[in-house]
A and B are shown apart, each in its own frame.
Chain A
Amino acid sequence: MHTLHPRLAILPRTACLILGTILAVRFLAACATVKPQQRAVLADPIMQFEGDPQAAAQMRHAVDNREGSYGGGGVSGGGCGCN
């Protein structure tokens, strides 16, 4: 039986998840009705998901190297620094 290379085996599931997310976004996002003039609180730094990207990335770098898991906070990287 033909099997995918281990590097490629993840792709079908990944594609399904991305496609499902896109469909969910299209369906659900249309329900949101926040008008531009109502966005004052949402625009405040206190409501941002990542207000200080560099500081947050450094914190993730420190934590990721002490845990066995990964993800959810961006995929940019560079080097190990994993002592």
Chain B
Amino acid sequence: MVGMSLVSAASAARASAQVAVVDTAHTLYHEAPTRTNMTVYTPGVDVAVTPASWLTVRGGYEADVVSGASVGVKAGPAYAAVNPGADVISTASVRDYRHAPRAGVTLRHGDVAYTAQYTYGTENDYKSHSFFVSARTEAYDHNTQLELSYSRNADLVCDRTQAVNDKPPRFRALEDSRGCFGSSDPLRTRHTVSIDALQATWTQAWTPTVATQLAYTAQILDGFQSNPYRSVILAQGLKAQEHSPDHRARHSIAARANVYVRPLKVAVRLAARGYRDTWDLWSATFELEAERYFFEGFRIAARARYYAQTGTSFWSDDYTGGNKPLGPKGQYFTGDRELSPFHSLALGLRMTYTVESANGHLAGLMRSLKIGASAEVVNFSYDEYTLGGIPITNARAYVLGLNASASF
């Protein structure tokens, strides 16, 4: 451990003279709960060049390759009960690609680092321009780090053009993403979505083996936030595109602690997060992670995460029960299980191997190489969400990750 610390310290000392770092990460997400399935492969690569100690320039690219079948029409148990034998749920196949190139710069002056980054995201039914800025400073012998970051997204989401006189209970869902952008299809329209997010983070070293972090995050979303493809059955013979409020303000406070337990040579990480938003969704998250070195440069971490949330004020598993027209469930309706009450438990492992060159040249050109692999299983338990009254089973997700980082 002490040897690794010295290697790490040497690495940090060289960092200022480092020329380039290449990072690549790949994540595979797969879930197949009742009647649906979703697989998302996310590859990404970033290159950061530090030509001078005060300047880092970076560029990168990330993608999402999405395929699966999601719920197209959502109905609840009351509707299914009065329509026995009818299959009131339909699924729709999903196939999409998100491309997100990005570029950024970090300027350092004394103990302060300023970062700016731009990301352009494009997929068949969604376009995004994201601007990110942050300022980070250190104080009290580098024991205190403060960071303030802000991002602004100016996004466009595709939707079906609705009849002029129709109201949300008559809106029809988007059939597919053909003609969403770059065409004059009269059956396609675009809605704006603006997202402002602010985060203040305080990281503090308290003792030689204890550090904590406190982060407050606020986010304001304005614009179309429903899934344009999904419909909800509202009454006998009436299905409508799901309709969520256009405005949402979200807050969260996260606290983390890293403690190195010397007798066990284990780093223990504890984290807790509380969240609430103006859709009246509350959540709590607790994480526990333990990591230790098994031989020089090779470490394994075991992780557990518990998450629980309430549903939004307008969430219902069945909207056919005569909700008050001006109540939250009368004005808004959704079939989104992420807005329903549920809890989840995730268990995972992560391995990391780092090799440093003693003379500054690994395999002839690298100063250091880090390789990581992770696997996680997430089990979701939905309190209310059903498909036509049938609870979804086997709601389990598998997440695999691979990443590598090389400095030159």
Provide the bound-state CA to CA distance between A7 and B214, in Å.
25
Does B306 reach chain A (CB closer than 8 Å)? no
Contact B338 A80 (CB under 8 A): no
Q: How far is the CB of B198 from chain A (nearest CB, A)?
A: 7
**Contact residues, A44-66 vs B (CB, 8 A):** 44-49, 51-55, 58-59, 61-63, 65-66
Count, chain B residues at interface, CB 8 A: 120
- Report if A1 contacts B (CB, 8 A): no
Shortest C-beta distance, B74 to chain A (Å), equals: 16
* Residues of chain B within 8 A of A73, CB atoms compared: 215, 254
Bound-state CA distance A58–B283 (Å) is: 21
Minimum Cβ distance to chain B for residue A73 (Å): 8
Task: Please determine whether A62 and B40 come into contact, CB atoms closer than 8 angstroms.
Answer: yes
Asked whether A21 and B2 contact (CB < 8 A) given A32-B206, A41-B260, the answer is: no
Distance between Cα atoms of A4 and B259 in the complex (Å) = 43
- Residues in chain A near residue B151, CB distance under 8 A: 75-77
**Is A38 in contact with B44, judged by CB distance below 8 angstroms?**
no
Least CB distance from B95 to A in Å reads 9
Cβ contact of A74, chosen from B1, B40, B199, cutoff 8 A: B199
- Collect the chain A residues with CB atoms within 8 Å of residue B339's CB: 68
Q: Is B256 within 8 A of A68, CB to CB?
A: no
In the complex, what distance in Å separates the CA atom of A50 from the CA atom of B32? 30
Interface string of B11-33 (1 = CB under 8 A from A): 01000000000011111010100
Q: Which residues of B contact A65 (CB under 8 A)?
A: 338
Interface of B is mostly: strand
A1-B148 Cα distance, complex, nearest whole Å: 34
Total chain A interface residues with beta-carbon distance under 8 A: 60
On chain A, the residues within 8 Å of B307 by CB distance are: 67
Q: A30-B140, A81-B121, A83-B38 are in contact. Are A58 and B27 (CB under 8 A)?
A: yes
Q: Of all chain B residues, which has the CB nearest A65?
A: B338
Is B46's beta carbon under 8 Å from chain A?
A: yes
* CB-defined contacts of A47 to chain B, threshold 8 Å: 211, 258, 260, 267
What is the count of residue pairs linking A and B with beta-carbon distances less than 8 angstroms?
A: 263
Beta-carbon contact of B205 and A66 below 8 Å = no
Q: Contacts of B267 on A, CB cut-off 8 Å?
A: 46-47
Q: Give the residue name and chain of the A residue nearest to B348 (CB).
A: A59
Q: Mark A25-48, 1 if CB is under 8 A from B, else 0.
A: 100111011111011111111111
Contacts of A33 in B (CB 8 A): 143
A17, B197: Cα distance in complex, Å: 15
Q: Is the CB of A79 within 8 A of B256?
A: no
Is there contact, CB below 8 Å, between B126 and A79?
yes
Which residue of the partner chain B has the closest CB to A25? Answer: B202
- CB pair B25–A80 under 8 Å, yes or no, is no
Question: Given A14-B198, A72-B252 in contact, is the A79-B142 Cβ separation under 8 Å?
Answer: no
> For residue B126, which residues in chain A have a CB less than 8 angstroms away from its CB?
79-80
Scan residues 211-241 of chain B and give those whose CB is less than 8 A from a CB of chain A: 211, 213-220, 222
Q: Across the interface, name the chain B residue whose C-beta is closest to A79.
A: B121
Query: Which of B198, B203, B354 sits near A45, CB closer than 8 Å?
Result: B354
